[in-house]
């Protein structure tokens, strides 16, 4: 990485459910605003706002990206006018995988 560009220490880090519950509990007990509790626990206001609406994390799905090129070739022969998103659905991969393979 470039030394002069600030990089966050918590890249791709999710807060635990226990921590999120604690933050919301303190907010409720102390009567703090979202901004106050965010500052107190050093988290983003947007995070606390999201936790108030839904404390559970969004599920992170796995998108398949590897394509058997022979299967892709056959799909192109069978459906020459198909859109990439249609191919991706048929082959069970992300649309971007189709784009890169073509």
pLDDT of amino acid 58: 74
- How would you write the chain as a 3-class SS string? CCCCCCCCCCCCCCCCHHHHHHHHHHHHHHCCCHHHHHHHHCCCHHHHHHHHHCCCCCCCCCCCCCCCHHHHHHHHHHCCCCCHHHHHHHHCCCHHHHHHHC
Q: Is 31 left (phi over 0), alpha (psi -120 to 50) or beta?
A: left
pLDDT of amino acid 53: 92
pLDDT of amino acid 5: 45
pLDDT of amino acid 79: 95
Of 48, 47, 43, the closest CA to residue 33 belongs to 48
Over its length of 102 residues, how does the chain's per-residue pLDDT go in tens digits? 444 444 445 455 688 899 999 999 999 999 999 999 999 999 999 999 999 999 888 766 655 567 888 999 999 999 999 999 999 999 988 888 899 888
Rounded to the nearest angstrom, the gap between the alpha carbon of residue 60 and the centroid of all alpha carbons in its chain is 6
Judge whether 98 and 88 are in contact, CB under 8 Å. yes
Q: What angle do CA 70, 80, 96 make, to 5 degrees?
A: 65
């Amino acid at each position: 990485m470039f030394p002069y560009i600030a990089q966050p220490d918590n890249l791709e880090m999710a807060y635990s459910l226990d921590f999120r519950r604690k933050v919301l509990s303190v907010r409720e007990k102390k009567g703090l605003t979202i901004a106050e509790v965010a500052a107190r626990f050093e988290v983003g206001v947007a995070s606390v706002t999201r936790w108030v609406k839904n404390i559970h994390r969004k599920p992170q799905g796995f998108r398949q990206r590897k394509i058997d090129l022979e299967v892709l070739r056959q799909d192109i022969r069978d459906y020459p006018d198909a859109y990439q998103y249609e191919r991706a659905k048929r082959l069970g991969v992300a649309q971007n995988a189709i784009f890169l393979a073509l």
